[in-house]
Chain A
Amino acid sequence: MISSESRARFEQEVAKYPADQRQSAVMACLAIAQQEIGYVSAEAEAEIAEFLGMAPMAVHEVTTFYNMYNQRPVGKYKLNVCTNLPCQLRDGARALRHLEKKLGISMGESTDDGMFTLQQCECLGACADSPVLLVNDRTMCSFMTEEKLDQLVDGLRAAEGNA
């Protein structure tokens, strides 16, 4: 069940569009649902479909088309490292490999404690800041040297009382 707080945010998004175009808010609603429950569940899709007056399949089409929607549960912190060419030229791939080693997982996997999911991603639009990674879709971390990557992972583990 999507919380009433998220539902209030849905209303704000729907209000941006003409009354007969509620579907336009689907991208935002899915992102809000993901922020609340960590991924886009079938139940969330069904609720959003009903809220916006869409066919559930039309909502699912959107979920599966856009890279950032999680179609299954992910770790508490999803780390997306850009390895596209401008980042590849500035240690983007090295950052990804460093995190693989640090977390003991391969890209696409999650740590056993459910804390981290590591993914390779396409251009984040922050090419001059490389190496860059995006944490949980909303926080961009820039100039991530190996030292800073260690600080990030260790810092988050400490903050979660899991050092």
Chain B
Amino acid sequence: MNPQQVLGQFRATGLETCFHGRHIGAQILDGLDGSNWCLKDYEARGGYQALRRILGVDGSEGLTPDQVIAAVKESALRGRGGAGFPTGLKWSFMPRQFPGQKYLVCNSDEGEPGTCKDRDILQFNPHIVIEGMIIAAYAMGITVGYNYIHGEIFQTYDRFEDALREARAAGLLGDRILGSSLNFQLHAAHGFGAYICGEETALLESLEGKKGQPRFKPPFPASFGLYGKPTTVNNTETFAAVPWIIRNGAQAYLQCGKPNNGGTKIYSVSGDVERPGNYEIPMGTPFSVLLELAGGVRTGRQLKAVIPGGSSAPVLPASIMMDCTMDYDSIAKAGSMLGSGAVIVMDDSRCMVKSLQRLSYFYMHESCGQCTPCREGTGWLSRVVDRIENGQGRQADMDLLDNVAENIQGRTICALGDAAAMPVRAMIKHFRPEFEYHVANKTCMVPAYV
């Protein structure tokens, strides 16, 4: 075997994460098998029909940009990248009559620990993102777009480039799309290892060829975005939801979720479950159902805690989590956030100090260094958690951690500071006795693992 053949043996097939037949009412991952990502396959699944309907090239009368935005608003689609901001509202902020260039950006810089959904969307159904972006471009009068893809998933970047070539050749991208007056150029760009570039203004800096350091907001990207021009940034999964809404109607989308939380959502379930993977289910599905789809907690173990929305989301103990439904409002009410929908499951063998140690190291490593509270504070948090884990903690350390975290939160340009602080505060809040035990006994309450 040559080296490429050797490496090829270990390539993910998506069988475990995507084609397990355990989605409920899937809209984005429906009908995929790993080989049917091409344009002809996507069209056979009804792909690009939404675009044709909007442009009126299928014999219908077409939709105006206002009608498209109204439909997205009515659907209650909320941003799938983490913030959960209403997509239709965001689109309506775009100054459509702005005379100069405007930009559309897809945020595929998926680096929030626990999240691997955008990878599977782009790898196995890239055209659904392209169609969603063309529709968004039409709605906001934008002619140029970029998809910024996580540098670590280079095979997916190559796949997306292949899909772009297909779309261009078929007249779905470029000038006069499908013979209409719509022009839209779409390109792929990639990161190269910086968590911070998932933050939208850091991503824009990176697209401009600079260090990915977030910008002050306001001005927001809708008025000062890429190259200083009006720009809308949405997550991959958000764009992927749009064609279904146009094809099936905003009400149908809303009804398959719950009020204020339209549609399905793809949850990346990782950690202590039997079947880690991506599960697309309607918004508002009980957490217990999702856990069951993922095969339940690892055999012989009890659920201890769940981080419900990527590593930045506050951890929730099992008792609270089991009463939650999987939607923005339910998880927020429980004191955490749905974030990117990355569900990190932890069983009763897990030491929370050790878990927090790894997370705190991550935020220290990925702080861009721009704001003092984050640059210095993340290092401070990491060092204190480190000494507790290593048996050199003091009983005052828990209050110190909470105090340092409190002084980072809300005092930085971007949300990375909050993302570093929130897990610390939630761990102390819910699992304080475990930290105290660690300090007093210089060892874990739970059996060692790893």
Interface residues of A (CB under 8 A from B): 16-18, 21, 23-28, 30-31, 52, 54, 58, 61-62, 65-69, 77, 83-86, 88-91, 93-94, 121-130, 134-135, 137-144, 148, 151-152, 155-156, 158-160
Contacts and interface: CB of A to CB of B under 8 A. Distances in A.
A67 B378 CA distance: 18
A46 to B, nearest CB: 16
A26 B276 CA distance: 36
Nearest to B359: A85
Nearest to B3: A159
5 contacts: A122-B362, A127-B268, A128-B270, A139-B11, A156-B7
Contacts of A85: 113-114, 271, 307, 311, 344, 355, 358-359, 362
B203 to A, nearest CB: 11
A27 B11 contact: no
Given A65-B211, A84-B362, A122-B366, A130 B10 contact: no
A84 B113 contact: yes
Given A143-B16, A159-B3, A123 B270 contact: no
Contact of B115 (A18, A77, A127, A139): A127
Contacts of A156: 3, 6-7
B238 to A, nearest CB: 17
Contacts of A160: 3
Contact of B151 (A66, A128, A129): A66
Contacts of A52: 209
Contacts of A155: 1, 6, 9
A140 B11 CA distance: 6
B113 A123 contact: yes
A48 to B, nearest CB: 10
A88 B153 contact: no
A144 B209 contact: no
A139 B276 contact: no
Q: Is the interface of A mostly helix, strand, loop or mixed?
A: mixed
A90 B272 CA distance: 7
B413 to A, nearest CB: 16
Nearest to A20: B227
Given A67-B193, A142-B10, A144-B10, A127 B358 contact: no
Contact of B268 (A26, A30, A128): A128
Nearest to A65: B211
Nearest to B108: A125
B217 interface: no
B210 interface: yes
Given A28-B189, A68-B152, A139-B7, A128 B212 contact: no
Contacts of B450: 88, 91, 93-94
Contact of A140 (B155, B189, B345, B368): B155
B195 interface: yes
A69 B343 CA distance: 30
B211 A62 contact: yes
Given A65-B212, A89-B271, A125 B6 contact: no
A126 B270 CA distance: 10
Contacts of B5: 159
The 4 closest A-B pairs by CB, nearest first: A67-B193, A23-B209, A68-B193, A141-B10
Contacts of A62: 209-211
Nearest to A154: B6
Given A18-B227, A84-B311, A152-B6, A125 B208 contact: no
Contacts of B7: 135, 139, 141, 152, 156
